[in-house]
């Protein structure tokens, strides 16, 4: 039996790294924060749900990881700036940024209210701009390196029904990722996008309610893909770990589709 070499372990290890995860109190964000902590990173969890954030920290710490919660509305310029400063002061650097916070409103352009358009675009796309604006200088100052992973969607690559604002935002996230990779590659910062398909999270289950359909039937339909199941948060977390680690050290400006073959 071939043993995993130390070189391979070193490539996947995040020992000594500081990772910032947004939308970290539940779903994909929490699963990723937990996995990155298992790989050795210290996690700065960002969310607006203080109670859930505190529970997430405890779960990570109970599993032997290190984490701290930071309350931040990622659509606020002021809060993103101050939170980045707090994380920098607390940990001395930032190595990994997983821009994951997201919302969805399942409506077409005729039914969608302007406030819901603004919320969807701001949380899914503007938040990436805001937090990256304050984290990238820290990455440059402290190490001239870093890995930024943005959460896109299968709908970054194609349109979907009754989700016009979400499709617009996620399409923007993918091309924004490419532009960021071009701008900051010379500073040693890699920027990539993970594009999940349907993942069993509160966000996905909430879509059924928005559409007025039976939740179990909605999930059954979502499982109709080559791998014959709905994704789980850890499926995406594993992809993020790859993009955060040195396993992908020459990968930037691209996307990793994690959808069980749905788009195929």
pLDDT digits (tens, 9 = 90+) for 171-191: 999 999 999 999 999 999 999
Look-up of token digits 């709908």: 155
Where would I find the H helices in 185-232?
A: 202-211, 215-222
- What share of the chain has pLDDT > 90, as a percent? 97
Band of residue 4 on the pLDDT scale cut at 50, 70, 90: confident
CA 98 and chain centroid, separation: 5
Instruction: For CA atoms 36, 38, 39, 42, give the dihedral sign.
Output: positive
Residue 1: the pLDDT is 65
Residue 98: the pLDDT is 99
Look-up of token digits 């409506």: 107
Please determine, for residue 3, whether its predicted confidence score (pLDDT) is greater than 90: no
How many residues belong to the chain?
264
- What integer is the mean pLDDT of 36-61? 98
Helix (H) or strand (E) holding 131: helix 127-142
Q: Which two tokens stand for residue 245?
A: 């680690």
CA 180 – CA 173 distance, rounded (Å): 10
Residue 143: the pLDDT is 82
- What integer is the mean pLDDT of 9-24? 97
Band of residue 229 on the pLDDT scale cut at 50, 70, 90: very high
* pTM flag (> 0.75): yes
Mean pLDDT, the chain, integer: 97
CA 67 – CA 60 distance, rounded (Å): 7
Active site residues: 166
**Tell me: the pLDDT tens digits for 98-144?**
999 999 999 999 999 999 999 999 999 999 999 999 999 999 999 88
CA 151 – CA 122 distance, rounded (Å): 14
Q: Which two tokens stand for residue 36?
A: 């990155």
- What share of the chain has pLDDT > 70, as a percent? 99
CA 20 – CA 9 distance, rounded (Å): 22
- What integer is the mean pLDDT of 199-226? 95
Q: In angstroms, what CA-CA distances link 54 with 33, 50, 90, 159, 183?
A: 13, 6, 17, 36, 35
Q: Which two tokens stand for residue 134?
A: 């304050």
Domains detected in the chain = 13-198+232-257 (3.40.50.720)
Contacts of 4 (CB under 8 A, 6+ apart): none
Q: How many helices (H) and strands (E) does the chain have?
A: 10, 7
């Amino acid at each position: 039996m071939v043993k995993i070499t130390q070189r391979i372990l070193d490539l996947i290890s995040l020992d000594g790294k500081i990772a910032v995860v947004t939308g970290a109190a539940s779903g994909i964000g929490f699963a990723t924060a937990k996995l990155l902590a298992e790989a050795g990173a210290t996690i700065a969890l960002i969310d607006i749900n203080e109670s859930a954030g505190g529970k997430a920290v405890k779960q990570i710490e109970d599993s032997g990881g290190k984490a701290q919660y930071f309350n931040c509305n990622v659509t606020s310029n002021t809060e993103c700036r101050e939170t980045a400063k707090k994380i920098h002061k607390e940990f001395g650097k930032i190595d990994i940024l997983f821009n994951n916070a997201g919302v969805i409103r399942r409506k077409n352009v005729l039914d969608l209210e302007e406030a819901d358009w603004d919320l969807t675009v701001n949380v899914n796309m503007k938040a990436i701009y805001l937090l990256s604006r304050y984290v990238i200088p820290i990455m440059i100052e402290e190490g001239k390196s870093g890995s930024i992973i943005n959460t896109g969607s299968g709908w970054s690559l194609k349109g979907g029904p009754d989700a016009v604002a979400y499709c617009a935002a996620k399409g923007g996230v993918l091309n924004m990722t490419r532009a960021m990779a071009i701008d900051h590659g010379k500073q040693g910062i890699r920027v990539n996008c993970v594009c999940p398909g349907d993942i069993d999270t509160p966000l996905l289950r909430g879509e059924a309610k928005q559409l007025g359909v039976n939740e179990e039937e909605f999930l059954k339909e979502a499982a109709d893909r080559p791998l014959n199941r709905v994704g789980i948060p850890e499926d995406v977390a594993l992809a993020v770990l790859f993009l955060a680690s040195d396993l992908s050290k020459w990968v930037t400006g691209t996307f990793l589709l994690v959808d069980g073959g749905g788009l195929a």
